[in-house]
Amino acid sequence: MKEYLILLAQVYPDFRLAELDALAKLNGIDVDLSQHDPTRPFLKVQLRDDNDAQALISRAVLSKAIYELWGEGESYEQLHESVKGNSSNKFEVYKNVTFKFDFEGYKGRQNSKAKKAIIESFEYLGFQGAVDLKSPKECFTVIEEYEVFGMEKASKPKYIWFGRLVSLSQRTEKNVVETYDLKKRGYIGTTSFDAELSLVTCNLAHVKSGHIIYDPFAGTGSFLVTAAHFGGLAIGSDIDVRMLSGNGSEQNVKSNFKDYGTPTNFIDVLTMDFTHNALRKGFGIDTIICDPPYGVREGLRVLGAKNEEKAAGREKNIVDGEVAHLRRDFVPPKKPYELADMLNDLLSFAGERLPVGGRLAFWMPTANDDFSETIIPQHERLSLQYSLEQEFHKWSRRLLVYVKMDESYAGETRNGLKELNIRNFRERYFRGFSERSR
Question: What CATH number has the domain bearing residue 54?
Answer: 3.30.2130.30
Residue 214 has pLDDT above 50, yes or no: yes
Domain boundary among 174, 200, 234: 174
426 and 371 share a domain? yes
142 and 256 share a domain? no
Domain membership of residue 437 (yes or no) is no
130 and 196 share a domain? no
65 and 169 share a domain? yes
Domain membership of residue 438 (yes or no) is no
How many Cα atoms sit within 13 Å of 233 on the Cβ side? 9
166 and 187 share a domain? no
Residue 420 has pLDDT above 90, yes or no: no
307 and 159 share a domain? no
More confident residue, 420 or 223: 223
Domain membership of residue 436 (yes or no) is no
Domain membership of residue 31 (yes or no) is yes
Domain boundary among 159, 174, 189: 174
Q: Quick one: pLDDT at residue 298? A: 46
Domain boundary among 174, 190, 214: 174
Residues in the chain: 438
74 and 209 share a domain? no
165 and 309 share a domain? no
Alpha-carbon span 397 to 19, nearest angstrom: 17
| Predicted confidence (pLDDT) per residue in 139-178, tens digit | 999 999 999 887 777 788 999 999 999 999 999 999 999 9
Owning domain of residue 349 = 180-431
- Mean pLDDT over 107-128 rounds to 96
Q: Quick one: pLDDT at residue 394? A: 74
- Mean pLDDT over 278-299 rounds to 82
156 and 188 share a domain? no
402 and 257 share a domain? yes
pTM: 0.88
How many domains, in total, are found in the chain? 2
